[in-house]
Amino acid sequence: MATIIVAFPKMDEAKAIRNLLLYKGYDVAPACVTGAQVINQADNLSDGIIICGYKLSDNMVYTELYEYKPKSFEMLLVASRNHWEDCQDNDIVCVAMPIKINELLSTIEMMFKAQLQRRKKKRFKPQKRSPEEQKIIDSAKAVLMERNNMTENEAFRYIQKCSMDSGNTMVESAQMIMSIYYGE
């Protein structure tokens, strides 16, 4: 599970939220009071959520923190509604002050689920091939279609299966097919 970084201008506020999240079973980094501390911790982690107030003790405003944070981190702003003006444009999630514990926890859970879905979607996204790589695959398909009387779909599936069985990429499997037929 991703890590949560809690940052508020007063250490006692940050620690109170951090302790609540730890009690609820979340992985939470040490509490922060400055934007620099947040960025430093985020740079050492793979991904997660930054929960912060409107302005931190080093006068860094949440919009600046949003710009400097790693792309793999999402941000949850805890502030009064009149500070939410830049949130929608930047995909910053907001929770109103004073904090309602159930609202905070359900928002965090929703953010983690969205992160997980994006990670899964990214993993199964088909890779883009260069025109040269696509040409190699197309040539191997043409050879299989001509010499083995396969349809285009059957030839593609054959190359795909060879790729999966051998642990090679589709391009490498297509090159092997070409070398078998043409000795290249």
- Report how far residue 4's alpha carbon sits from residue 22's, in angstroms, rounded to the nearest whole number: 10
HSE, CB side, 13 Å, CA atoms: give it for residue 119: 14
> Partners of 61 in the beta sheet?
55
pLDDT in tens, 71-123: 889 999 998 888 777 676 678 899 998 889 999 999 999 999 988 888 777 76
Nearest residue to 70 via CA among 51, 50, 86, 85: 50
**Does residue 96 come out as left (phi exceeding 0), alpha (psi in the -120 to 50 range) or beta?**
beta
Tokens of 111: 């953010």
How far apart are the C-alpha atoms of 87 and 80, rounded to whole Å?
12
**Integer angstrom CA distances of residue 42 from 20, 28, 117, 165:** 20, 12, 21, 39
Q: Which residues of 18-36 are buried (b: 16+ CB within 10 A; e: fewer)?
A: bebbeeeebebbebbbbbe
* pTM (predicted TM-score): 0.66
End-to-end CA distance of the chain: 48
170 vs 164: CA distance, rounded Å: 8
The CATH architecture annotation of domain 131-182 reads Orthogonal Bundle (1.10)
Sequence spans of domains, the chain: 3-123, 131-182
| CATH superfamily of this structure's domain 3-123 | Response regulator (3.40.50.2300)
Distance CA 75, CA 174 (A): 44
Sequential pLDDT tens for the chain (184 residues): 578 999 999 999 999 999 999 999 999 999 999 999 999 999 988 889 999 999 999 999 998 999 999 988 999 999 888 877 767 667 889 999 888 999 999 999 999 998 888 877 776 666 688 899 999 999 999 999 999 999 999 999 999 998 888 888 889 999 999 888 887 5
